Homo-oligomer: A and B are copies of this chain.
Amino acid sequence: MATICMTSKDKSAQKRRKAELENLREELLEAQFELRKTNKGPILVLITGNDFAGKAEVIYTFYEWLDPRFLHTRAFGLPQGIERRMPWLWRYWRTLPPTGELAFYLGSWYHQPLMRLSRGQISPTTFKRQMQEVTAFEQLLIDEGATLIKLWLQLSDSDTRKRADPALNQTVAMREWGDFSAADYEKVRSGAQYMEELTSTTEAPWIRVPSQDPQERDLRIGQILLQAIRQQLTSQPSQHPAYGWTASQNERLAALDYTLKQDKDHYQQQLSTLQQRLRQLVQHPKFARRSLLLVFEGTDAAGKGGTIRRITQCLDPRTLRVHGTRAPTEEERRLPYLWRFWRRIPAPGNVVVFDRSYYGRVLVERVEGFCTEPQWQRAYREINDFERQLADKGTLVIKFWLAITQDEQLQRFQAREGSPLKRYKLTDEDWRNRKQWPAYVQAINDMIEHTSTQLAPWHLIPAEDKRYARIQALNIVCDQLEAALK
């Protein structure tokens, strides 16, 4: 009879390990509870590495150890359907977890690029560019308060061979790499090395986790997680000023000619000619692979709504969305400010109009102090980066600032007050904003200077005469779209 003989030394080691594990689980639960209570975070745990190291299995362990009601798992395979026609980070953006919670990522933003690099489907240069995009994305998440834990589960070659043996018929919940040969694995390894060099930052370094022994592996990850949550709990929002940011010296708004007017007699004719033209452009076969994002910002009462209506009037409602941007909801406040706009970017063949937009970050949020100075100073770069990703995938981004003078605004406010049909358009906030006029002027000039990129420059339109503004905006949309479809 074969008996497994346990020495008292083994036994006491096992006992110690069990106690250690229980202690860790207790502390993790406590930490998770605190995270939720303080609404910090979120914590993103990226689980990558060898297919036989138990990537999915790690997650199932933590679903047992932690309170599963506040855990998320995001597991991505090959991009499918619409995902392939949107910027590649889009599917990660729209599924970000809210503050206070914890998400595990399988097949994160690292997997597809690394897979394609290993298979020779993309060049190292393309891979490098994608990794730069990833770094910017992660930096934004961290700046917005998230913690990233990037784990690479390691397994020796001999262990991999053993576990990959189909005769042993071992359940591996998820295989990402397919049936790779040893040579392929070598390529993955060297790619991973390169990836690590490119994307290990102080705030989100890669951590290698030996995964021979599942218990040791989970214990180690548990410790890493605990440390990260605790750091998150005591962390203060970053106060680094945005590197190299300087206020604009330009006075673009003051330089506008506010006397420009549209000839009344030809207005209707011009309007319908332009609408007809826009309609035809959007029906152009080439537009099916492109999309259009119109951003409308402007002084209160400058006539954004009326201008937008003149543009949308001629478009097919099935491929059009107009989003009025209001103060973020409770849910939206638990996610990075760009999240709600990423969710609403146009699909190919579609037109999206933002009536106010993500530029709120550097306008109202800046002026009213709803975000910190480092936050709005960073935002210019973040926004440029966002628009570049859209443009890269074929979206034409056109941005308008409708400007009126202080006198004109006062008259319009008063007219609104006096009209039962327009009263709802005027709020206390409008009067408050008006008092902040000089602060807004600076914010607007900064915004124009820092976000007028080659891909998406600002179009400033004096809107003292509403008809003029409408015709101008339609003209610009038509011209730009025509050029883009050439």
- Which residues of chain A have a CB within 8 Å of any CB of chain B? 22, 25-26, 29, 33, 56-57, 59-60, 63-64, 67-69, 73, 75-77, 81-82, 106-107, 169, 171, 173-174, 272, 275-276, 279, 305, 309, 312-320, 322, 324, 326, 329-331, 355, 420-421, 424-425
Contacts of A329 in B (CB 8 A): 331
**Docked-complex contact A317 and B106, CB < 8 angstroms:** yes
In the assembled complex, which residues on chain B have CB atoms less than 8 Å from the CB atom of A81? Answer: 81-82
Question: What is the bound-complex CA distance between A326 and B70, given in angstroms?
Answer: 10
Residues of B within 8 A of A69 (CB): 324, 326
**What separation, in Å, do the CA atoms of A67 and B420 have in the docked complex?**
12
**When the two chains form their complex, are residues A309 and B421 in contact, meaning their CB atoms are under 8 A apart?**
no
Closest 4 pairs (CB-CB, A-B): A75-B317, A75-B318, A26-B420, A77-B318
> Looking at the complex, which one of B26, B173, B309, B322 makes contact with A316 (CB distance below 8 Å)?
B173
Inter-chain CA distance A174–B173, complex, in Å, is 48
A106 CB to nearest chain B CB (Å): 5
Evaluate contact between A171 and B314: CB separation under 8 angstroms: yes
Contact of A420 among B29, B312, B322 (CB under 8 A): B29
Tell me the complex Cα distance, A174–B63, Å.
50
Complexed CA–CA distance, A68 and B57 (Å): 49
Which one, B82, B169, B313, contacts A173 given CB within 8 A?
Answer: B313
| Bound-complex Cα distance A190 to B297 (A) | 48
Q: A60, B173: Cβ atoms under 8 Å? A: no
CA A169 to CA B279, docked complex, whole Å: 12
| Residues A317 and B421 in contact in the complex (CB < 8 Å), given A276-B169, A309-B64 | no
A192 to B230, CA, bound (A): 64
By secondary structure, the A interface counts as: helix
Which residues in B have their C-beta under 8 angstroms from that of A424? Answer: 29, 33, 67
Q: Which of B63, B171, B309 contacts A272 (CB 8 A)?
A: B171
Known contacts A81-B81, A171-B272; 15 further A-B pairs (Cβ under 8 A): A22-B421, A26-B420, A29-B420, A33-B424, A56-B317, A63-B309, A68-B324, A81-B82, A106-B317, A107-B318, A171-B276, A173-B313, A173-B314, A173-B316, A329-B331
Q: Separation in Å of the A159 CB from the closest CB of chain B?
A: 20
Residues of B near A22 (CB, < 8 A) are 421
Whether A317 contacts B171 by the Cβ 8 Å rule is no
Could you tell me the distance in whole angstroms from the C-beta of A336 to the nearest C-beta in chain B?
A: 19
- Report the nearest B residue to A312, measured CB to CB: B60
| A238 → B minimal CB distance (Å) | 29
A330 / chain B contacts, CB cutoff of 8 Å: 330
A60 touches B318 (CB 8 A): no
Q: Do A279 and B324 touch across chains, with their CB atoms under 8 A apart?
A: no
Instruction: Jot down 26 A-B pairs with beta carbons below 8 A, ordered by A.
Output: A22-B421, A29-B421, A29-B424, A33-B424, A59-B317, A60-B309, A60-B313, A67-B425, A68-B305, A68-B322, A68-B324, A73-B320, A73-B322, A75-B316, A75-B317, A77-B319, A81-B81, A169-B276, A171-B272, A171-B279, A173-B313, A173-B315, A173-B317, A174-B317, A174-B318, A331-B331
Nearest B residue to A169 via CB reads B276
CB atoms of A73 and B317 under 8 A apart: yes
Closest approach, in angstroms, between the C-beta of A265 and any C-beta of chain B? 17
